[in-house]
Structure 1
Amino acid sequence: MPLFMDVHHLGDGVTMDAVAKAHQADLATQEGHDVRYLRYWVDESGGQVFCLVEAPDADAANLVHREAHGLVADAIYQVREGA
């Protein structure tokens, strides 16, 4: 399954708590889309969020975000894991 890193530029006010809730919504929504959200990172001072997801394609990954909470990614990159 392809692996993607998505980037959200949300600006001021991004908090770990809010992102944790959005991630839980992703987990609750991903079933049925062949998508699996794995991890996320938050840059509170920079207002950015990064999500690691297994998905058949970038559109499927973004569809889960759209349905779960509406915070679609500004960019999505297909990545490969290294050591």
Structure 2
Amino acid sequence: MPLFMDVHTMDGTVGLDDVAQAHQADLRVQATHGVNYQRYWVDEQNGKIFCLVEAPDAAAAAQVHREAHGLVADEIWPVAEGE
């Protein structure tokens, strides 16, 4: 299945606990779209969130965020994992 990295740019800082809650919401919704949100990274000070996701396409990944919490990524990039 294709792998994507999405990038969220928040207005101001972002809390790690808030992102953890949003990720849990993604996990509750993802199966209905054939998506698997795997990991995320947070730059709290700069308001950046990065999510690694397996999805049929970028639209399916975005739909999970939209339904789960409404925080749709600003960018979604196809990626390949290296060793």
TM range (shorter): over 0.9
Partner of 1:56: 56
Q: State the alpha-carbon separation in 2 of the partners of residues 38 and 60 from structure 1.
A: 15
Q: What TM-score do you get using the length of structure 2 for normalisation? A: 0.98
Partner of 1:31: 31
Counterparts of 1:1-83 in structure 2, within 5 Å, are 1-83=1-83
Q: CA deviation at 1:31?
A: 1.1
Gaps of 5+ in 2: none
Letter in 2 for 1:55: A
Q: State the alpha-carbon separation in 1 of the partners of residues 3 and 11 from structure 2.
A: 25
Q: CA deviation at 1:11?
A: 2.5
The alignment yields a C-alpha RMSD, in angstroms, of 0.6
Q: CA deviation at 1:13?
A: 3.1
Runs ≥4 in structure 1, deviation > 2 angstroms? none
Aligned 8 A contact 1:11 1:48 in 2:
no
Gaps of 5+ in 1: none
